[in-house]
Structure 1
Amino acid sequence: MNTLAKKDEYVRARVPNELKVQAERILKEVGLNTTDAIRLLLTQVVNRGGFPLELKTPNRTTIEAMNSVAEPKKFSSAQELFTDLEDDTDD
């Protein structure tokens, strides 16, 4: 497939404004615009014969780990923190 062929198709996608703004800011830092990023994504889908990133549903262990990061433990003293760390290493 010639990815340098005439560009005569349009792709439209509705995304939250803040997502678009944040993505454009990051893409600009690496010298790309949204159109370039979408073209790269579609090219990789074709070249790889599938989506270029691994997409899978997280298992229970992963979900629990993600949730524990979202809700960090709080300690009233350094000693309490160290005791908790020691308890975790005993497992």
Structure 2
Amino acid sequence: MPKTQMIRARIEPDLKQDVESIFKELGLTTTEAISLFYHQVKLWKGLPFEVRLPNSTTIQTFQDTDAGKNLTHCEDAEDMFNKLGI
């Protein structure tokens, strides 16, 4: 059996370019990033992040945000913390 095997996948060109730019910033090749992902799946015996559908509150919040509703504008971090009561 060979020491490595080829993987082929179809990826949207824009997504591929954006992600490869991130890999480059991290000092990784696409092959290294995919290998890292595979090692994490093996280690966790599943995806190394949560995959779930948003609940109705989250969906409504996304829709409101996209429509510009219920937004709070803050001048800076201190203003944001004050508005949050932190």
SS at match of 1:24: helix
Is 1:62 aligned with 2:58?
yes
Aligned positions, number: 68
2:16 & 2:9 partners in 1: Cα distance? Answer: 11
Which of 11, 26, 44 is the matching residue for 1:48? 44
Q: Deviations over 1:9-68 (max 9, x none)?
A: 111110100000000111101101211111111100001111100000111101111122
Provide the TM-score with structure 2 as the length reference: 0.73
1:34 & 1:71 partners in 2: Cα distance? Answer: 37
Unaligned runs of 5+ in 2: 70-86
Q: Deviations over 1:50-88 (max 9, x none)?
A: 110000011110111112222214xxxxxxxxxxxxxxx
> Would you identify which runs of 4 or more consecutive aligned residues in structure 1 move more than 3 Å?
none
Provide the TM-score with structure 1 as the length reference: 0.69
Unaligned runs of 5+ in 1: 1-5, 74-91
Rg: which structure is higher? 1
Q: Percent identity at matched positions? A: 41
Could you say what the CA RMSD is over the residues aligned between the two structures, in angstroms?
1.3
